[in-house]
A and B are shown apart, each in its own frame.
Chain A
Amino acid sequence: MTGIGRRLRRRPPKYSAAALAWRGMRGDYWPRVWRDTELKSSYDAVVVGGGVHGLATAYYLARNHGITNVAVVDKAYLGSGASGRNTAIVRANYLTPEGVAFYDRSLQLYNSMALDLNINVMMSERGHLTLAHNDSSLRTMNWRAEVNKLQGVNSSVIGPDEIKKIAPALDTSSHPRYPILGALYHPPGGIVRHDAVVWGYARAADYMGVEMHQKTEVLDILCEGGNGPDGKGPGGKVVGVRTNRGDISTPVVVNCTAGWAGLISAMAGVRLPITTHPLQAAVTEPVKVFLPTVVVSGSLHVYISQTDRGELVFGAAVDPVATYSIRGSLEFTEELAGHVLELMPGISRMRLLRQWSGLCDMTPDYSPVMGFTPVDGFLVDVGWGTYGFKAAPVSGEQMAEAVATGRTPKLIAPFALSRFDSGELVGEKGAASVGH
């Protein structure tokens, strides 16, 4: 995966301490991180959705395949959806060999991202603890550790004493209700500055010629030859995209949206087995850093990390009801606080600063839908549920390959849309439902 056919439009101004100092002395502004251009009437490919998945797809199209006449369109601003609303946790300690292979590649790409994209995405390899509060989850942790060991993924089960050493804030006493019996410890897991990933991909793609178009809403996908109305649907092919800024002709549209995946696909006459659920998250006021690692409790439906800014970031499971509403609920914060204090009783005086919500597209088997669809030229990278952020780099890399070669890469073959017609569902539920 080297820079085949890389066509640099111009040399990017390099980010470095020296450049910072130089510009600081001169008082210069940095050039635009990505250009603000007019929408052209034609592109080789249009990526719908300016989040990490869409931007990564565009970046790898340009970098790995030399396809640079590409527009990324987003109805709001880049990273405005789930990319900027997730809790930015990355890990590779999955349960199935397919899951491990996939996320391990993603983690590798995250680890090298700062140098690849020349932007510090602050990949914080701080370790990831998944707590076991009962016998049966301890057994699952052991299972995951054994699978990971055989796959070369650094993960092991540790006991309460070691947990206490890693994260002293956790109550590892023989707490009557949700005792911490052990944890799956995954040192390579951690957090990334999610916005920087968005900006880094956008900036790098821009320098290779890809155009980012914000506030550009897709109103329709223009098709011909399909068996549905307006030439849409199976058997048809994509010829263009109608946006609020005008029509674009293109033979390829890649749907990289979350929250709107079903609506965008329906514009091409493609039905997806997706329901959309909100997932809520919250952040506290900053305090001096005391939690050096990511803590996840499946039983208590909570994951916690402390940013370098000192804020605790909390996430939970998706809301049980399918809806497009992204207003938070009071109950979420109450339950969250209760669960967090179960784990870390000493932080009851920390104050909740802000809560928010994002949309998650859930599929019946908790696995994404990736690759080609019955409409020629219409590809999807959707259905990422609660775990899309972790998978963004590898997804972009694979989707770019699919677009460029016209073939489904092996790594994403199990996630084809056709599996819902054949019953070959993918199972990462066991690992994915634990969340983060």
Chain B
Amino acid sequence: MTMSRLGPQPTEVLDRSTKLRFRWNGKRFDGFEGDTIASALAAAGEHVFSRSMKYHRPRGILTADYWDPNLMVQVGDDPNVRAGNRLLEAGMDVRAQNVWPSLHRDIKAANSLFGRFLTAGFYYKTFMRPAWLWPTYERVLATFAPGGKIDLDTPHRYHDKRYTHPDVVVAGAGPAGIEAALAAAAAGARVLLVEHEHAVGGHLRYSSSDSDQAVLAELRAALDASEVEVLTNSTVTGRYEDNWLGIVQRNHPIAVERLIKARAKVLVAAPGLIERPYVFSGNDRPGVITSGAARRLINLWGVKPGERAVVFTANSEGDAAAADLDRVGVEIAAIIDGREGKRVSSAQGSSRALGAVVAGGNRIEADLLVVAAGWTAPTSLLNMAGDRPVHDPATARFFPSDPPGNVLATGGLAGDGTLDELRAHGAATGRLAAQRAAAVAHRLQAMTARARPVDGDEPAWAPDERTPLGRDPHPELYRSDTHGMVDFSEDVGSKDLVAAAHEGYDSVELAKRYTTSTMGPSQGKLETVNTVAAIAEARGETIAQVGTTVWRPPYAPLTLGALAGRVFEPVRVSSIHPWHEANGVSTIIAGQWMRPDHYGDPAAEVRNVRTNVGLIDVTPLGKLDLRGPDIPKLLNLLYTNKWSKLPVGKVRYGMMCAEDGVVLDDGVTGRLGEDHYLMTTTSSGAGGVWEWVENWLQTERPDWKVHVTPVTTAYVSINVAGPKARELVGRVTEGVDLSPDAFPYMEVRLATVAGVDGCFMWRIGFTGELSFEIHAPSGHGLHVWEALMDAGQDLGVGPFGLEGQRIMRLEKGHFIVGQDTDGLTLGPSTGLSPLIKLDKDDFAGMPELAWAADRSLPMIVAIQPDDPNVVPDEASQIVRGNTNEILGRITSARMSPTLGRSICLGQVEPELAAGGTKVTVLLTSGERVSATVMDHHAHFDPAGERLRG
């Protein structure tokens, strides 16, 4: 086959005045503006573009469009580029994929010699012995993975998404689709017309008929004059529930690919038909192309596809291709008419080029075989809407059966007819779509809270009164009298499928999984029908009996970059963060937050808090503002303890358990007013608890009057801790009597702090010291912090971070949910059984906790290694003596600056939970050390005199 550039064609899309220089496998080539990569290479005489997956057979142009399985190339760092679709750009570096050492001398082509042994699924039957060799076999098999190469340094580049709410989306801008879009728009609908190819027009684009071109010009002009929004080189990739559509736009001026998410009131599917290859010996040889490929090459890109052609045609498109070939000077060696029962049996020649075609026992010299054997109806979008296509043997293709009313099909998907009939059907579909969209719009408007009121009754659901399109008879042409390739991307032949069916993989899904037919990049667009036909033939059944595979999204592949869009992963910091940074902070990542871990010496920070006063920024603490009369009911439901009698101005600690009784979260909640509470959660649990609360309120207790607002970031939270905390807070606070009697432990006050109104503070503390936790409006957070720092210079005030706080809470024996507890820790294991009130009516986890009350459970206990200098790694296991029997583990461990010794919290089996028990700790180093279980969780100040002071 020798392809070459023809003189200018009337319908071509080239700008022959603009030459584009690019590289193909390192060599320089030229093409024109308007060329695809494939058309430019074809015009330059290239005829091998890739090697097949298994046998590495040379492959050339087959369909010359997006779906061409043989035209996958690497462009720079972009693998698996469809050279039949991607427009040529100057400077492109295009390479063949999966070949070694080169496209023309590929060593794995030797596999062809073993083809008869490498039948589908051969790998399931071998490489089992010797077992130790399997990893090596696997590595070799993995080298057969097809596709391009990933450059791990590829930048994410710019991706953005668009959201749109059109009345009607039309997928496919052939004549029927365009008419549908125009008619819907004329009826007042907002219409988005999405075309997979680079321009609208469908098959009219590559028709050389003057009347077709006149129609195309007319349709284009009408589109230009209409309000229809047209997207080209874009594909509706998926139809999800309620006509939620994914659309990928490949020609956005900035974004590499853009994902458009459209909620269409009505979807019109007008994708046209995809030409189906014919199965015969040598059908994957370069030089065997579809009739559509021939017409596109000639009429769009002025490429002469060969010198001497055989045309196998069973339909008018094949006839048109023969006419086009003849017109541009390709010698027609023979026309084999499939409608007359004639068949093409084999394409022969060298491995890289066609030499002759065998048909009806005759051998015809030719370098080009053009095949028009029928169509595949791409019913994907209808399938995704729940429709099951039905096979019609008279037309040799599938048709939609009964799609939902808001999905309409037109064009080739719906039937055949003259161009006028197709246009009329499209227009009728567009009108119907607009009518139904108006009904949907009315319903949405009427049902949506806060929407502008809508007048009148909902328009009636328009009945489908379209005149159905006819169906042109077409011979059932799937396989000739020889075997050939069915799935070009997976190198699966009809022989493989027949063998699989005989072996028992005889349903379409089993055969698909066993042979991998339809599982490659073309996802069945070209090969599904032939796959089903091969199985049907082997089983002696019809295609309808065998059925088809399920078409799943996406219709066309789209990049992960487009799906991910712009990366929105904000890092959260408190408004005090600039101060921390200016003061030598070391940060730690905690969920979405960056938090101060320490400012150089956490032990010194601890000593300062224990002797003077320290400030810690605890802004990530989860905060939920609760309002409404039913808050006590909610708190009683979520916490294990009782909340009915919490007075205004008081704060209470609570523990939450999930429905399986496992500790979910803990924190304090304070009553700020009659119907106003503030709930705090752990920092890491802030999001989860909010969802938990909303889930109960929205799904289980919708009648309760409680309004929840997450205010975690609305307030900065500063804990002022240490013996001099009262002195310091008093210097900057107005309107609150801070004396121990007037403002005792576990109470809350509204206050003005450092001149900032609307702050509130409560007396609680994780550190075990006298503490005031101040919550100030975020915008003033830095000011309040700095005011406290300034006011406390003479008191020795200093900041402390999370590490200091962790040390101090461990000294005090406070457990941390998620660190000292885990996904298996039931409420009573925390030692807080008195807070689990089983005499309440109900609370989350109550049945499980009632059961658990009668059982002995692992317990959280304080542990001290007998050697005070040994700090076990967290996760060190507690074992029985010298055995490996696990009896517990260390969950927290630190060196205590206050006590000058190592201290721990751990979980142990109930038999070890009593104070004074000796346990063996297996350090991660492997060493076993002895330790003692303590009487009380608190290693320091167990009576709590310091924090109550």
Q: Which residues of A contact B516 (CB under 8 A)?
A: 309
Task: Name B850's closest neighbour in chain A (CB-CB).
Answer: A423
- Asked if B560 and A287 sit within 8 Å, CB to CB, the answer is no
Q: Which of A20-28, A237-245, A259-267 contacts B (4 or more CB under 8 A)?
A: A20-28
B744 at the interface (CB under 8 A from A): no
Alpha-carbon distance between A289 and B145 when the two chains are bound, in angstroms: 7
Q: Which residues of A contact B150 (CB under 8 A)?
A: 169, 287-288, 290, 346-347, 349-350
Q: How many residues of A contact B (CB 8 A)?
A: 106
A249 at the interface (CB under 8 A from B): no
Q: Out of A96, A122, A349, which one reaches B79, CB within 8 Å?
A: A349
B98 at the interface (CB under 8 A from A): yes
Alpha-carbon distance between A287 and B145 when the two chains are bound, in angstroms: 7
B147 at the interface (CB under 8 A from A): yes
Q: How far is the CB of A116 from chain B (nearest CB, A)?
A: 10
Question: What string of 1s and 0s marks CB contacts (under 8 Å) between A359-378 and chain B?
Answer: 00000110000000000000
- Asked if A96 and B824 sit within 8 Å, CB to CB, the answer is yes
B502 at the interface (CB under 8 A from A): yes
Q: How far is the CB of B875 from chain A (nearest CB, A)?
A: 4
A60 at the interface (CB under 8 A from B): no
Q: Which residues of B contact A344 (CB under 8 A)?
A: 152
- Asked if A142 and B886 sit within 8 Å, CB to CB, the answer is no
In the complex, chain B residues 568-602 whose Cβ is within 8 Å of any chain A Cβ = 569, 571, 588-591, 594
A36 at the interface (CB under 8 A from B): yes
A352 at the interface (CB under 8 A from B): yes
Q: How far is the CB of B710 from chain A (nearest CB, A)?
A: 19
Q: How far is the CB of B940 from chain A (nearest CB, A)?
A: 23
Q: How far is the CB of B594 from chain A (nearest CB, A)?
A: 8
B523 at the interface (CB under 8 A from A): yes
Q: Which residues of A contact B506 (CB under 8 A)?
A: 36
Q: Which residues of A contact B703 (CB under 8 A)?
A: none
A324 at the interface (CB under 8 A from B): no
Having A136-B684, A287-B145, A354-B552, one finds 19 other A-B pairs with CB under 8 Å, namely A19-B125, A32-B503, A33-B504, A76-B509, A120-B125, A135-B589, A285-B557, A287-B149, A289-B142, A290-B152, A328-B238, A333-B563, A337-B560, A345-B155, A346-B150, A349-B77, A349-B561, A425-B660, A429-B824
B874 at the interface (CB under 8 A from A): yes
Q: How far is the CB of A72 from chain B (nearest CB, A)?
A: 14
Q: Which residues of A contact B822 (CB under 8 A)?
A: 140, 143, 430
A408 at the interface (CB under 8 A from B): no
Q: List 10 A-B contacts (CB under 8 A).
A: A16-B129, A122-B123, A146-B877, A289-B142, A309-B145, A327-B241, A333-B554, A349-B256, A353-B521, A365-B660
Alpha-carbon distance between A327 and B134 when the two chains are bound, in angstroms: 37
A interface residues with partner B (beta carbon < 8 Å): 15-17, 19-21, 24-25, 27, 29-34, 36, 76-80, 84, 95-97, 114-115, 118-125, 133-136, 139-140, 142-143, 145-147, 150-151, 168-169, 176-179, 193, 195-196, 199, 214, 284-290, 307-310, 327-330, 333-334, 336-338, 340-342, 344-356, 364-365, 422-425, 427, 429-431, 433
- Asked if B513 and A195 sit within 8 Å, CB to CB, the answer is yes
Alpha-carbon distance between A134 and B499 when the two chains are bound, in angstroms: 52
Q: Which residues of B contact A333 (CB under 8 A)?
A: 246, 553-554, 563
> Among the interface residues B116, B122, B150, which one has the most CB atoms of the partner chain A within 10 A?
B150
Q: How far is the CB of B236 from chain A (nearest CB, A)?
A: 11
Q: Which residues of A contact B823 (CB under 8 A)?
A: 427, 429-431, 433
Alpha-carbon distance between A380 and B852 when the two chains are bound, in angstroms: 26
- Asked if A150 and B79 sit within 8 Å, CB to CB, the answer is no
Alpha-carbon distance between A365 and B259 when the two chains are bound, in angstroms: 39
Q: A285-B521, A288-B150 are in contact. Are A134 and B589 (CB under 8 A)?
A: yes
Task: Name A206's closest neighbour in chain B (CB-CB).
Answer: B504
- Asked if B521 and A136 sit within 8 Å, CB to CB, the answer is no
Alpha-carbon distance between A121 and B128 when the two chains are bound, in angstroms: 9
> Among the interface residues B124, B261, B824, B876, which one has the most CB atoms of the partner chain A within 10 A?
B124
- Asked if B138 and A308 sit within 8 Å, CB to CB, the answer is yes
- Asked if A308 and B141 sit within 8 Å, CB to CB, the answer is yes
Q: A136-B819, A347-B150, A364-B659 are in contact. Are A214 and B889 (CB under 8 A)?
A: no
- Asked if A285 and B147 sit within 8 Å, CB to CB, the answer is yes
Q: Which residues of B contact A309 (CB under 8 A)?
A: 145-146, 516
- Asked if A146 and B889 sit within 8 Å, CB to CB, the answer is yes
Task: Name A289's closest neighbour in chain B (CB-CB).
Answer: B142
Q: What 7 A-B pairs have minimum CB-CB distances, sorted nearest first?
A: A423-B851, A310-B145, A430-B823, A348-B561, A337-B563, A142-B875, A351-B557
Task: Name A286's closest neighbour in chain B (CB-CB).
Answer: B147
Q: Which residues of A contact B521 (CB under 8 A)?
A: 285-286, 353
Q: How far is the CB of B807 from chain A (nearest CB, A)?
A: 15
Q: Out of A338, A341, A350, A423, which one reaches B848, CB within 8 Å?
A: A423
Q: Which residues of A contact B384 (CB under 8 A)?
A: 327
Q: Which residues of B contact A430 (CB under 8 A)?
A: 822-824
Q: A147-B877, A351-B80, A354-B523 are in contact. Are A329 and B240 (CB under 8 A)?
A: yes
Q: Which residues of B contact A289 (CB under 8 A)?
A: 142-143, 145
Q: Which residues of A contact B571 (CB under 8 A)?
A: 176-177
- Asked if A142 and B152 sit within 8 Å, CB to CB, the answer is no
Q: Which residues of B contact A338 (CB under 8 A)?
A: 563-565, 567
Q: Which residues of A contact B594 (CB under 8 A)?
A: 176
- Asked if B567 and A342 sit within 8 Å, CB to CB, the answer is yes
B873 at the interface (CB under 8 A from A): yes
B448 at the interface (CB under 8 A from A): no
